[in-house]
Amino acid sequence: MSLAHAHVSVLLSEAVDALAIRADGLYVDATFGRGGHSRAVLAQLGPQGRLIAFDRDPAAIAAGQAVGDARLTLVHSAFSALDDELARLGVQVVDGVLLDLGVSSPQLDDAARGMSFRFDAPLDMRMDTSRGQTVAEWLAEASVGQITEVIREYGEERFAHAIAKAIATARAGGAVATTGQLAALVEKAVRTREPGQHPATRTFQALRIFINQELEELSRVLPACVSRLRPGGRLAVISFHSLEDRIVKRFMRDESRPPVLPRRLPVRAADLPAPRLRLVGKAARPGEAEVA
């Protein structure tokens, strides 16, 4: 039996500092995970402060029950439903929202979730195990074209078509049902390897992003966050790969500029509507100790 490593929250102080927490404020942690960021926020809140934490993973919500803090409200939901869930809770505006995107390490460490090729396990990959199709179910019915598109778009994988054809050939002899089967298929189909990276890394990332609709969820939640922030409220986002990063940076850039009006419209600069966001500081990256 090996000892599972402790969950370490990414950019913990940087992300929480970026929220500029007020002791009596109301904050949203849109991805509770194992609660590292949430605990750090709660530590800075006073008795009147409040935190609402979302997660689509039932295991994360179960872990959250152990926090035992009356100021914390847990919501089992994808963060794309943030607007509806805040309305349900009677919340009009919040002082800050933190989004920690992508998969959490406990999801990778739990073999049964099928997120990682480190274990041979059922090919599931759903963040919310209570609903939706698994990757194995989708691969059983998707066309070669659909599989190619997903792996190319979400994994930025050059050998997407070769991998899709290998999956289609293999499933003719029985379902591609485990992470080990898929990793072996990809390993044969990928002709050149990136140093230090397993050939299946990009394919696994692509299928996980697709099956959980991660980029669509992100595109839906960002406008909802801004519409719920009170003046002076903060939005902080932790992203892990170029596809997420592009969506977040483009959104923040566009929202921090005045709206584009039709050319030759007789409007004075002083009368232009103000942008909804103001960028604060520069993008933070993990320090050397965290990377190590």
How confident is the model over 78-106, as pLDDT tens digits? Answer: 999 999 999 999 999 999 999 999 887 77
Residues 172 and 220 in one domain: no
Q: In sequence order, what are the beta bridge partners of 73?
A: 52
Domain count, the chain: 2
Lowest mean per-residue pLDDT among 64-68, 115-119, 235-239, 274-278: 115-119
**Which residues, other chains included, contact 48 with Cβ-Cβ below 8 Å and sequence gap of 6+?**
23, 24
Distance between alpha carbon 66 and the CA centroid of its chain, in Å? 23
The shares of helix, strand and coil residues in the chain, as percent rounded to the nearest 5, are 45, 10, 45
Residues 42 and 184 in one domain: no
Q: What is the CATH number of the domain that holds 94?
A: 3.40.50.150
26 part of a folded domain: yes
Q: What is the pLDDT of residues 16-34, one digit of tens each?
A: 999 999 999 999 999 999 9
Sign of CA dihedral 254, 257, 260, 264: negative
The two tokens of residue 174 are 């029985």
pLDDT at 73 over 80: yes
Domain housing 151: 114-212
Q: What is the pLDDT of residues 188-236, one digit of tens each?
A: 999 888 888 999 999 999 999 999 999 999 999 999 999 999 999 999 9
273 part of a folded domain: yes
48 part of a folded domain: yes
Q: What mean pLDDT is reported for the chain?
A: 91
Residues 33 and 96 in one domain: yes
> Model-level pTM?
0.89
